[in-house]
Amino acid sequence: MSNYENLKVWHRAVELAVSIYKLTGDNKFFVKDFGLKDQMRRASVSISSNISEGDELGTDKQAIRQFFIAKGSAAE
């Protein structure tokens, strides 16, 4: 596998997580709904984490599994 930091999709996932943290931190709509705020944050971080983990596992089969998990986090 390649170095995950060279993957465009990994960079986009990190940008998404940063955006989600900014949105949920400054937005008055999330002040009372800590559960939704926390879930959105965890799911967004999970995307880049699973991409990097899949890239580092060493086999294509394991990487593909992690990439599908990342896709599920994006849908979440």
Taking the C-alpha atoms of residue 55 and residue 11, their distance in angstroms, rounded to an integer, is 14
Domains and CATH numbers, the chain: 4-75 (1.20.1440.60)
pLDDT at residue 45, rounded to an integer = 96
- SS3 (DSSP) at 66: helix
pLDDT at residue 3, rounded to an integer = 87
pLDDT at residue 18, rounded to an integer = 97
- pLDDT, one tens digit per residue, over 19-30 is 999 988 876 777
Query: 10 Å Cβ neighbour count for 58?
Result: 10
- pLDDT, one tens digit per residue, over 17-63 is 999 999 888 767 777 777 888 999 999 999 999 999 998 988 899 99
